Amino acid sequence: MDFKNKIEIKNRKARFEYEILDKYTAGIVLAGTEIKAIRLGKASIAEGFCEFKNNELFIINMTVQEYSHATYFNHAPKQERKLLLNRKELKKLEKGVANSGNTIVPLRLFVNQKGLAKIDIALAKGKKLHDKRETLKDRDNKKRLDQIKKEFRT
């Protein structure tokens, strides 16, 4: 498999909306047409989140568009997909979610060198409005500092 066109789908809103506490990499249980669509880059995790059901972790609202060359065996675009983690990691995440204000959000969906789809998830705490303003302020200050450094060099 050629990895010149590496598949990496990011959730850009996650770092702005949430404060990341802990990160994990999980496998995903997918159907054949789902992995083919992901390899074409036709997936979105922007509105996705994770939830526990019967001591198993599922990702909800992750969109994987239908595969164009499939027959009637095609998958549903917004179905729940099971995430694969170790038992220790699952227990740690379950304890973390039990705290109020914590949730599990997807950060990045990628295909590894073996051709398997993996997802980076994070235990996160929602930011307040003033925290978001602080993030924007820091970003603007960094941009200005970089411009000043660039002008100083020339």
Spatial neighbors of 84 by CB under 8 A, at least 6 apart, are: 26, 27, 28, 29
Domain ranges of the chain: 8-127
Reported confidence tier of residue 1, pLDDT bands at 50, 70, 90: very low
Query: How far apart are the C-alpha atoms of 126 and 28, rounded to whole Å?
Result: 25
Higher pLDDT, 106 or 154: 106
Please state, for a pLDDT cut of 90, what percent of the chain lies above it. 33
pLDDT single digits (tens) 56-76: 999 998 888 777 776 677 766
Tokens representing 50?
Answer: 């994770």
What per-residue confidence (pLDDT) applies to 2? 53
Percent of the chain past pLDDT 70, that is, above it, reads 92
- pLDDT score recorded for residue 3: 52
Confidence at 120, pLDDT banded by 50, 70, 90? very high
Ramachandran assignment for 5, one of left (phi > 0), alpha (psi -120 to 50 degrees), beta (any other): beta
What is this structure's pTM?
A: 0.77
- The pLDDT of 69-86, averaged and rounded, is 79
- Model pLDDT, residue 5: 61
Q: Which CATH number fits domain 8-127: 2.40.280.10, 3.40.47.10, 3.40.50.300, 3.30.420.40?
A: 2.40.280.10
Alpha helices, DSSP H, located in the chain: 12-17, 32-39, 87-98, 129-153
Q: What is the residue-averaged pLDDT of the chain?
A: 86
Q: pLDDT by residue (tens digit) across 2-54?
A: 555 688 889 888 888 888 999 999 999 988 888 888 888 888 898 888 999 99
Residue-level pLDDT at 26: 94
